[in-house]
Amino acid sequence: MKDYTAEVHGCHEFDATGALTTPVYLSATFRHPAFRQSTGYDYSRVANPTRSDFEKAIALLEGGKRAWALSSGMAAINLVFALCAPGDHVLLPEDLYGGTVRLANDIYSRYGIDFEYIDMRDTSLVEAKMRDTTKMIFIETPSNPMMFITDIRAFAAVAHEHGSLLVADNTFLSPHAQKPLALGADIVVESATKYLCGHNDVICGTLAVRDADSDLAQRIELLVKSEGPNLSPMDSWLMLRSLKTLGVRVERHAENARAIAAWLLTRPEVTEVYYPGLADHPGRALHESQSTGYGGMISFKVKTSAIAQNVLAHLRLIAFAESLGGVESLLTYPLVQTHAEMPRELIARTGLDDRLLRLSVGLEDVEDLKEDLAQALEKAARA
Ligand SMILES: *Cc1c(COP(=O)(O)O)cnc(C)c1O
């Protein structure tokens, strides 16, 4: 089944009423037909029919066999780190979502897990950093917010040579534009709050694996069942609804972003634009070899930090807000917003600085977006 079809239909099976969409099963528990018998549903922490439909659709779309729908992207990444044991070593990228750094440094480090941050644009570096204890390599491509590209196939090969897992945070593209499991990753996580939801109204995470019965899948199932981080039936239904338009949204986000990125390059206030769809992006060819779109995220630098901060005050249409991937365009200031708790030495290594802005290009008319950015940049530069 092709993506557009999987997104619209998922694994929907018609019930006796013929309902075209999955009902919201707001039931905490399920009546057993008889002693030692189950309908397949016993208790909604373990499985719920609305959530199961969403999970099956995600597994299909990610090209995996099993997926879990969780209460946030961080809940998904938490499950990934919970696969580690004391003494394990984990490689993380230098440029990544700040919440992942907080989870690693402030929570899991205290349980004896050793996190090391490396430049994942350089494939040869990862080989040198592998240890006997390396449990997993965790990647983000494109990375947040510097838009670095990591070679998924090459990283999977290195991980597997050393008996390690490759985990990909695929949030910036969604499975419509990139399928890490098909390129060798063992686990793919999404902050489904972003493109999968697409409307800035649900917090959700997903996690998918290639095989349904592997030790890895069983371990994750045990964690989900025991820790209870699942998505509610109502949110699962909203996510099923969102999924139906994922393809048209993601492609239009990318189309708008390409136009805005090219236009930003012409602005006198702008000094650098980071977008994998631009001809001079150093990771462009690699990105094209492992994805089917450039995404809707652009980072750019302006001449001074004062301009960067003033732009935020002059926006009219675009909202100064964290998050990304929704229909509404959002502009954020990573140094103080999404990456506030990031260790300074890491930030210094990636080029993230006080002149950087990150734009999540929404689905508004591109001319209106340019007009808003133009007036905000002009006012900010004059101030
Ligand atoms: C937002 C985000 C997360 C965290 O997801 P939540 O749904 O906010 O918990 C993780 N990774 C990336 C790349 C993100 O953008």
pLDDT 10s digits, 256-315: 999 999 999 999 999 999 999 999 999 999 999 999 999 999 999 999 999 999 999 999
- For residue 139, pLDDT over 90 is answered with yes
Task: Choose one of 219, 241, 263: the last residue of a domain.
Answer: 241
CA separation for the pair 297, 97 (Å, rounded) = 14
Atom of ligand 1 nearest to the CA of 172: 13
CA separation for the pair 71, 241 (Å, rounded) = 17
Question: Which residues form the domain of 325?
Answer: 246-382
191 Cα: distance to centroid of ligand 1 (angstroms): 4
Q: Provide the pLDDT for residue 347.
A: 86
Q: Where are the alpha helices (DSSP H) in the chain?
A: 3-9, 49-62, 73-81, 98-102, 123-129, 152-161, 215-227, 233-243, 246-265, 284-290, 305-314, 344-350, 366-382
CATH number where 322 lies:
3.90.1150.10
0.95 surpassed by pTM: yes
- For residue 338, pLDDT over 90 is answered with no
CA 243, 245, 251, 257 torsion-angle sign: negative
Q: Are residues 16 and 31 in the same domain?
A: yes
Q: Are residues 236 and 251 in the same domain?
A: no
Hunting for tokens 């695929």 — which residue is that? 170
Q: Are residues 145 and 178 in the same domain?
A: yes
Q: Are residues 63 and 179 in the same domain?
A: yes
pLDDT in tens, 257-267: 999 999 999 99
User: 344 pLDDT band (50/70/90 cuts)?
Assistant: confident
Q: Provide the pLDDT for residue 31.
A: 98
Task: Choose one of 208, 241, 274: the last residue of a domain.
Answer: 241
190 Cα: distance to centroid of ligand 1 (angstroms): 7
Q: Are residues 235 and 329 in the same domain?
A: no
Q: Are residues 199 and 330 in the same domain?
A: no
List active site positions: 45, 97, 169, 194
pLDDT in tens, 155-210: 999 999 999 999 999 999 999 999 999 999 999 999 999 999 999 999 999 999 99
Q: Are residues 253 and 120 in the same domain?
A: no
CA separation for the pair 170, 92 (Å, rounded) = 14
Q: Are residues 198 and 325 in the same domain?
A: no
Helix 305-314 and helix 366-382, axial crossing angle in degrees, nearest 10: 130
- For residue 340, pLDDT over 90 is answered with no
71 Cα: distance to centroid of ligand 1 (angstroms): 11
CA separation for the pair 205, 190 (Å, rounded) = 6
- For residue 345, pLDDT over 90 is answered with no
How many structural domains compose the chain? Answer: 2
Q: Is 195 in the pocket of ligand 1 (CB under 6 A)?
A: no
User: 102 pLDDT band (50/70/90 cuts)?
Assistant: very high
- For residue 63, pLDDT over 90 is answered with yes
Q: Is 72 in the pocket of ligand 1 (CB under 6 A)?
A: yes
Q: Is 55 in the pocket of ligand 1 (CB under 6 A)?
A: no
Q: Are residues 294 and 255 in the same domain?
A: yes
CATH number where 46 lies:
3.40.640.10
Task: Choose one of 220, 241, 262: the last residue of a domain.
Answer: 241
